[in-house]
Structure 1
Amino acid sequence: MQKRFSQMLMALLIVVFAACSVPENEDEIVEPGELIEEGETEPMRDEPIEEPHVEEE
């Protein structure tokens, strides 16, 4: 009985997580290279951002 309950609980959690991770509309999906409106955060980049090299004297 308890095993069946835990399986049902796990299935419910998977369904809830899947429903939360799907965007409500396609406007929320930002393709690489698209402009981002002011106030929104920038999507993560695959390559690290190169820091400017500073020569020490």
Structure 2
Amino acid sequence: MVTLAWVSNDSARRASLKIRRSGLMKKMSELTTLCGNRACLIIYSPDESEPIVWLSR
């Protein structure tokens, strides 16, 4: 079980988001490859003005 908690340190929170974002994109890529489906992933970050968009091919 994963316990969710607010990360109070700004730099640690940004680093955690970066790691989780790359892991999520990798999992989406694996899922679309295994299932043969297309997918779209949109990630909003409070530190970036534009969302990050990942589209399967």
Q: Provide TM-score, normalisation by structure 2.
A: 0.40
More strand by share: 2
Rg comparison, structure with higher value: 1
TM-score calculated relative to the size of structure 1: 0.40
